[in-house]
């Protein structure tokens, strides 16, 4: 059974993200050190997606595809509605924040939803946990293929790095290991289940390293000097506004679809949350560190906000 405590209370991922960001601010990787750190990060990302391919059961993917009446609207919401919302918020941020940070709202909108926290909140709110697990896995697999091309389409000239070479890197570092993992899954999945605690720390370590490398590049490009306290307040305000609208839109869409209440709760969290587990590694592959750090700034704030603000909402839904 999943823990009934709010994930932001128990999830060490928050500490990992804060530590990685603080380390990049105090001791950024530069020069050859940054090249080495980026190479190690890419190797870790390969290993992470290899393990993901091994542990996401093919039967879960098949069940998700079969339940198209739920997952087709969810996919459209995650990669359609949220991506267009990111485009709108980027327009609002453009005149105020650095261009790459504003573009980060588009990047955020194109990402898939989380797996762990969306499932945990669904459990906390007494939603359909089985549907949440399958849905989050299916959306994250789709995100590997969809997020980068969608960002290139919506990001325009600012997303110029997303070309053929970047797509090739995605294929080699994300898709290839996942396919290999699926192919050997039957031989290793039981042993992986016994190592679940260690695998979770592989997730956190790889994400933390990707964030560190990205923010090191941003710090080297003058991230601190570009942001006045008022700019941070604007960024946080836009992120909180978007999260509030995303929660309202996801809940309203579930109602319009006539979903049973427990399925509607699942749609709420799977639709509104965004995955730093995909977003940080993908940015590390797509962009050099001096760009990636700016692009993921909205993502990191959104991830923190979704963990903190969704907890009381889930508790209230459970009471209701």
Give the model confidence (pLDDT) of 185-222 as tens digits.
Answer: 888 888 877 777 777 777 778 878 888 887 787 777 76
With pLDDT > 90 as the criterion, what percentage of the chain qualifies? 21
Given a cut of 80, whether residue 303 has pLDDT beyond it is yes
Domain residue spans in the chain? 11-311
Pairwise CA distance, residues 250 & 308, whole Å: 18
Mean pLDDT over 301-320 rounds to: 82
* pLDDT score for 88: 95
Pairwise CA distance, residues 314 & 308, whole Å: 11
* pLDDT score for 183: 87
Could you tell me if 16 and 150 are in contact, meaning their C-beta atoms sit under 8 angstroms apart?
A: no
pLDDT digits (tens, 9 = 90+) for 30-75: 878 878 888 888 888 788 778 877 877 777 777 667 778 888 999 9
**What is the model's pTM?**
0.79
* pLDDT score for 162: 54
Pairwise CA distance, residues 21 & 2, whole Å: 29
* pLDDT score for 105: 95
Mean pLDDT over 70-88 rounds to: 94
If you count them, how many residues does the chain have? 320
* pLDDT score for 78: 94
Given a cut of 70, whether residue 6 has pLDDT beyond it is no
Which has more pLDDT, 252 or 295?
Answer: 252
Residue 98 DSSP label? -
Mean pLDDT over 276-285 rounds to: 82
Pairwise CA distance, residues 136 & 277, whole Å: 12
The CA angle 173-16-291, to the nearest 5 degrees, is 50
Q: 11-311 adopts what CATH topology?
A: Na+/H+ antiporter like fold (1.20.1530)
Could you tell me if 104 and 253 are in contact, meaning their C-beta atoms sit under 8 angstroms apart?
A: no
pLDDT digits (tens, 9 = 90+) for 90-102: 999 989 898 888 9
Nearest Cα neighbor of 292 from 203, 162, 174, 172 is 162
């Amino acid at each position: 059974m999943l823990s009934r405590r709010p994930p932001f209370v128990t999830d060490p991922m928050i500490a990992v993200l804060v530590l990685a960001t603080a380390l990049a601010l105090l001791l950024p990787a530069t020069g050859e050190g940054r090249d080495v750190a980026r190479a190690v990060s890419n190797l870790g990302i390969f290993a992470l997606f290899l393990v993901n391919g091994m542990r996401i059961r093919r039967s879960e993917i098949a069940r998700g595809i079969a339940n198209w009446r739920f997952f087709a609207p969810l996919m459209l919401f995650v990669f359609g509605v949220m991506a267009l919302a990111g485009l709108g918020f980027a327009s609002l941020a453009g005149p105020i924040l650095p261009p790459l940070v504003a573009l980060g709202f588009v990047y955020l909108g194109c990402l898939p939803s989380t797996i762990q926290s969306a499932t945990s909140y669904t459990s906390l709110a007494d939603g359909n946990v089985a549907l949440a697990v399958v849905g989050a896995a299916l959306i994250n697999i789709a995100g590997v293929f969809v997020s980068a091309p969608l960002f290139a389409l919506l990001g325009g000239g600012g997303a110029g790095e997303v070309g053929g070479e970047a797509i090739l890197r995605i294929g080699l570092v994300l898709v290839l290991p996942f396919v290999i993992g699926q192919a050997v899954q039957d031989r290793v999945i039981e042993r992986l289940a016994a190592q679940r605690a260690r695998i979770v720390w592989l997730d956190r370590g790889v994400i933390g390293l990707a964030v560190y490398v990205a923010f090191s590049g941003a710090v080297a490009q003058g991230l601190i000097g570009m942001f006045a306290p008022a700019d941070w307040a604007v960024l946080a305000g836009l992120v909180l506004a978007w999260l509030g609208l995303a929660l309202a839109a996801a809940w309203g869409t579930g109602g319009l679809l006539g979903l049973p209440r427990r399925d509607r709760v699942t749609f709420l969290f799977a639709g509104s949350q965004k995955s730093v587990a995909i977003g940080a590694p993908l940015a590390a592959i797509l962009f050099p560190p001096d760009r990636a750090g700016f692009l993921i700034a909205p993502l990191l704030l959104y991830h923190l906000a979704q963990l903190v603000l969704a907890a009381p909402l889930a508790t209230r839904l459970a009471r209701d």
